[in-house]
Structure 1
Amino acid sequence: MHNSWENLSPPSFYCSSCCQQIIIAAYLKGIPLEFTYIDLGAREHTTEEYKQYNPSASVPILVVTSENGEKTTIRQSMTILEYFEERFPDIAPLFPPALRDRVIVRDLVNIIAIDTQPPTNSRIAQRVKSIRGKLEDQVGFVKQAFTDGFRAYESLLTKQAEEGTFSFGGSLSMADVVLVPAVDQALMYRLDLDIVPNVKRIYLALKELEPFKAADWRNQGGTPAKFRIQDS
Structure 2
Amino acid sequence: MEDGLKLYSYWRSSAAYRVRIGLNLKGLDYSIAPVHLVRDGGQQHAPDYAALNPQELVPTLRHGERVLTQSLAILEYLEEVYPQSPLLPGDAGGRARVRALAQLVACDIHPLNNLRVLQFFDHEWNVPQPERDEWVLHWMRTGFAALEAMLVGSFDTGRFCHGAEPGLADCCLVPQLYNARRFHLDLNPYPTLCRIEEACLALPAFDAARPENQPDAI
TM bin, normalised by shorter chain, reads over 0.9
Give the 3-state SS of the residue equivalent to 1:146 in structure 2. Answer: helix
Is residue 25 of structure 1 aligned with residue 19 of structure 2?
no
Give the 3-state SS of the residue equivalent to 1:195 in structure 2. Answer: coil
Q: Among 123, 126, 151, which residue is 2:119 paired with?
A: 126
Amino acid at match of 2:186: D
Q: What is the CA deviation profile of residues 149-185 of structure 1, one whole-angstrom value per residue up to 9, with x for unaligned ones?
A: 1111111101102552111121212100111011101
CA distance in 2, matches of 1:28, 1:222: 21
Is residue 185 of structure 1 aligned with residue 179 of structure 2?
yes
Name stretches of at least 5 consecutive residues in structure 1 with no aligned partner: 66-70, 225-232
**Paired residue for 1:222?**
216
Is residue 135 of structure 1 aligned with residue 134 of structure 2?
no
**Paired residue for 1:159?**
153
How high is the TM-score relative to the length of structure 1?
0.89
Quick one: higher RCO (CA 8 Å, sep 6+), 1 or 2? 2
Amino acid at match of 1:53: L
RMSD: 1.4
CA distance in 2, matches of 1:167, 1:184: 17
How high is the TM-score relative to the length of structure 2?
0.94
CA distance in 1, matches of 2:210, 2:5: 20
Report deviation, 1:49. 2.1
Amino acid at match of 1:18: A
Query: Is the CA contact (8 Å cut-off) linking 1:166 and 1:206 kept in structure 2?
Result: yes
Report deviation, 1:48. 2.0
Identity among equivalent pairs (%):
31
CA distance in 1, matches of 2:33, 2:98: 31
CA distance in 2, matches of 1:162, 1:86: 23
- Decide which moves more: 161-170 or 20-29: 161-170
Amino acid at match of 1:122: L
Give the 3-state SS of the residue equivalent to 1:193 in structure 2. Answer: coil
Name stretches of at least 5 consecutive residues in structure 2 with no aligned partner: none
CA distance in 1, matches of 2:120, 2:137: 15
**Paired residue for 2:100?**
107
Q: Among 1, 4, 7, which residue is 1:10 paired with?
A: 7
Report deviation, 1:117. 1.0
Give the 3-state SS of the residue equivalent to 1:169 in structure 2. Answer: coil
- Equivalent pairs, count: 215
**Paired residue for 1:210?**
204
| Bigger Cα Rg | 1
Report deviation, 1:129. 3.6
Is residue 117 of structure 1 aligned with residue 116 of structure 2?
no
